[in-house]
Amino acid sequence: MPPLPGIVSACAFCLAAMLLAAAPSRAQNPTGSLRGLVQDTSHSRIPSARITARAAGLSIIREATSDDRGEFRIDDLVPGTFYVVVIAAGFAEASSDVSVRISSVLEMNVTMIPAVVRQSVTVRGQASSITTQPLDAASARFNALRARSRGSRLGPKHRRVSLRQSLQLQCALASLAETSLAASI
């Protein structure tokens, strides 16, 4: 007996359905992607920034560089958490944890902050040539006030000593101000 045409076509249909079901589906990608833009605080795009994605708990590291438009893309990432670091010349490092999902593209906009400029200033001073002896600021001020209150009753020798002590006090205060300025810089 010849096979029935309906049974043959039913078997052929079942066989085709099984073959299609066994073939991997191209609609579902088992990996995910990161896509983004690197810019500064004024929204100017930053080219040549280095983007590194490191899988949490795994030794998987993927890297990319932003193009002339500041855009980047990292494909074929396994699903999970990634620690993303962005580095660009003249900017502070930016980093974040991101979650990559199956068959999805995670959009990232990275805003870079200018790096802190670190400078050091060395201030060097020399001792004043006027001060030749230790100065007691309280006694110099007291003597200067006493000389003013006595007026002309002091002789020239006392006025000269008070003037010298006053100059020493001014030099000591100037030296202290220089030292304070150097310490604050």
State the average pLDDT over residues 16-39: 70
17, part of any domain? no
Q: Are residues 94 and 47 in the same domain?
A: yes
Which band of pLDDT confidence, cut at 50, 70 and 90, is reported for residue 116?
confident
Query: Containing domain of residue 73, as a range?
Result: 32-112
Q: Mean pLDDT, the chain, as a whole number? A: 74
Would you place residue 29 in the very low, low, confident or very high pLDDT band (cuts 50, 70, 90)? confident
pLDDT digits (tens, 9 = 90+) for 145-179: 565 555 545 455 544 445 666 666 666 666 665 55
pLDDT tens digits along 64-101: 999 999 999 999 999 999 999 999 999 999 999 999 99
- Please tell me whether the overall predicted TM-score, pTM, comes out greater than 0.75 for this model: no
CA 35 – CA 100 distance, rounded (Å): 11
Same domain, yes or no, for 69 and 107? yes
- Dist. CA 124–CA 61, nearest whole Å: 49
Q: What is the DSSP annotation of 46-83? A: -TT-EEEEEETTS--EEEEE--TTSEEEEEEEPSEEEE
104 & 48 share domain: yes
The reply to whether 37 and 103 lie within a common domain is yes
CA distance 69 to 49: 11
Is 38 found in the same domain as 103? yes
> Do 143 and 90 have their domain in common?
no
Q: Give the tens place of pLDDT for each residue, 37-64.
A: 999 999 999 999 999 999 988 889 999 9
Mean pLDDT over 121-143 rounds to 57
Residue 69 lies in a domain: yes
Task: Look up the CATH number of the domain holding residue 53.
Answer: 2.60.40.1120
Indicate whether 57 and 107 sit together in one domain.
Answer: yes
pLDDT of residue 57: 86
pLDDT attached to residue 159: 47
Number of domains making up the chain: 2
Residues 108 and 141 in one domain: no
Distance of CA 123 to the CA centre of its chain: 28
| Residue in 75, 97, 72 with CA at minimum distance from that of residue 84 | 97
Q: How many residues does the chain have?
A: 185
